[in-house]
């Protein structure tokens, strides 16, 4: 079996047969000429198939140790496709702590169609098991969660899911395939916002699903084709390119993340740091078991509470840019309560531990010392 770096560089990559081009061409076309009705070269219409997208989907399968990959126009579109496997009356168990856009999709769109969502602390395996009913058809996990970095035991939930006959889908965006492979741990579907670490350069919006089961892949492909939330070939090209350096970037994200997490924890102005690599964190043992490293996503709270203090810090950084998203080579700072998680009602956020003073960092691949200096002058 090839090692990760080799795998990422060569995933989905075959020289173009017409020219020998080493990089997959951008097939910027909407349709394909057919020899006669139904006789073609495997491509009919670009919503259904595109050679650049096909190369990316092969690459997605390779990097997640899966058999089938599907690319979508965004991470939310990929999530949307998974929920469309369900019918009215079906129930979903979802993590209480998760990305605000997923929560918004579940509560504001799919609840109207009769899908029932039960929000559970998925770090508590017994609580997940207790929430399962005969109507449960899907378990939706994030690990690490956005933004509190909670860790769920994928293998333990997969065992419960198999026993109950439900589908287990894991949002692997925060970890990336470099750090974690949920299919290997028993998940049925892996979801990525490929916008983040897979693309890696903050220049593309895209989503991905990876599956092992042919029948499940066929259902999801039918949804992808029928609903049409597909990425363009240029976006597919950019994510293909991003995957080639995933291992290099993730190594540096992990190195920088560790340095900054420890520095923040020692800072007198910081009250709490959320990062799965601390040995005294509740999920540390599970993270160490199912991940190859602890990543570059960190959240923290200031000792001095209040909106003014949080805003002062958010507006004072020079290298950390105040922006939504994550996973790019440049460092970002974010205020979940008013940005990425604003769609979750405040009382729900507070109940789940997401305070108004929480600050989230996406640590980039700059020199860690420069990033620490930036945080030092901003926090004071």
**DSSP for 256-269, written as a single string:** HHHHHHHHHHH-TT
The CA distance from 290 to 185, in Å, is 8
Q: What token pair was written down for 257? A: 């993340």
Helix locations, the chain, DSSP H: 4-10, 51-63, 75-83, 100-104, 125-131, 154-164, 176-179, 214-227, 233-244, 246-266, 284-290, 307-314, 346-351, 368-379
**Residue 196 is a catalytic residue:** yes
**Residue 171 is a catalytic residue:** yes
**Residue 312 is a catalytic residue:** no
| Nearest alpha-carbon partner for 288 in 297, 277, 298, 300 | 277
Q: Are 200 and 219 in contact (CB under 8 A)?
A: no
Q: What token pair was written down for 184? A: 């290997």
Q: What token pair was written down for 34? A: 């057919």
Q: Catalytic: which of 7, 53, 84, 196?
A: 196
Q: How far apart are the first and last CA of the chain?
A: 49
Q: Catalytic: which of 16, 32, 47, 118?
A: 47
Q: Catalytic: which of 90, 97, 153, 171?
A: 171
Q: Catalytic: which of 53, 80, 97, 99?
A: 99
The CA distance from 276 to 296, in Å, is 10
Question: Cα dist. 365→32, 134, 143 in Å?
Answer: 41, 46, 22
| Nearest alpha-carbon partner for 250 in 293, 288, 208 | 293
Question: Cα dist. 61→173, 225, 306, 351, 375 in Å?
Answer: 15, 18, 45, 37, 38
Q: What token pair was written down for 193? A: 């916002």
| Nearest alpha-carbon partner for 297 in 122, 209, 172 | 172
Q: What token pair was written down for 132? A: 């399962």
| 332: β partners | 321, 362
**Residue 103 is a catalytic residue:** no
Strand 167-171 to 207-211 pairing:
unpaired
Catalytic residue ranges: 47, 99, 171, 196
């Amino acid at each position: 079996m090839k090692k990760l770096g080799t795998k990422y560089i060569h995933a989905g990559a075959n020289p173009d047969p017409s020219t020998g081009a080493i990089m997959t061409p951008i097939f910027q076309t909407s349709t394909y000429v057919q020899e006669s009705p139904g006789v073609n070269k495997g491509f009919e219409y670009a919503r259904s198939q595109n050679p650049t997208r096909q190369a990316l989907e092969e690459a997605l399968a390779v990097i997640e140790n899966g058999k089938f990959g599907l690319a979508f126009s965004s991470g939310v579109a990929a999530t949307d496709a998974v929920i469309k496997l369900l019918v009215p009356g079906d129930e979903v168990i979802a993590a209480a702590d998760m990305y605000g856009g997923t929560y918004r999709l579940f509560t504001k769109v799919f609840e109207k169609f009769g899908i029932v969502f039960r929000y559970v602390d998925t770090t508590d395996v017994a609580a997940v098991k207790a929430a399962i009913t005969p109507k449960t058809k899907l378990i939706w996990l994030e690990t690490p969660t956005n933004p509190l970095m909670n860790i769920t035991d994928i293998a333990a939930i997969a065992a419960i899911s198999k026993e109950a006959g439900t589908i287990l889908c894991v949002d692997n965006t925060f970890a990336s395939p470099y750090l974690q492979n949920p299919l290997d741990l028993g998940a049925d579907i892996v979801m990525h916002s490929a916008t983040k670490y897979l693309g890696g350069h903050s220049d593309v919006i895209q989503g991905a699903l990876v599956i092992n089961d042919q029948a499940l892949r066929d259902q999801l492909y039918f949804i992808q084709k029928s609903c049409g939330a597909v990425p363009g070939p240029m976006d597919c090209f950019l994510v293909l390119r991003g995957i080639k350096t995933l291992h290099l970037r993730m190594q540096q994200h992990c190195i920088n993340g560790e340095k900054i997490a420890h520095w923040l924890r020692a800072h007198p102005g910081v009250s709490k740091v959320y990062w799965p690599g601390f040995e005294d964190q509740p999920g540390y043992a599970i993270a160490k078991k199912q991940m190859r490293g602890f990543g570059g996503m960190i959240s923290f709270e200031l000792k001095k509470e209040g909106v003014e203090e949080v805003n002062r810090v958010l507006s004072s950084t020079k290298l950390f840019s105040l922006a939504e998203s994550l996973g790019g080579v440049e460092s970002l700072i974010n205020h979940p309560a008013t940005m990425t998680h604003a769609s979750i009602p405040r009382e729900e956020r507070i109940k789940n531990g997401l305070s108004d003073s929480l600050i989230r960092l996406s640590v980039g691949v700059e020199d860690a010392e420069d990033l620490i200096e930036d945080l030092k002058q901003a926090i004071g």
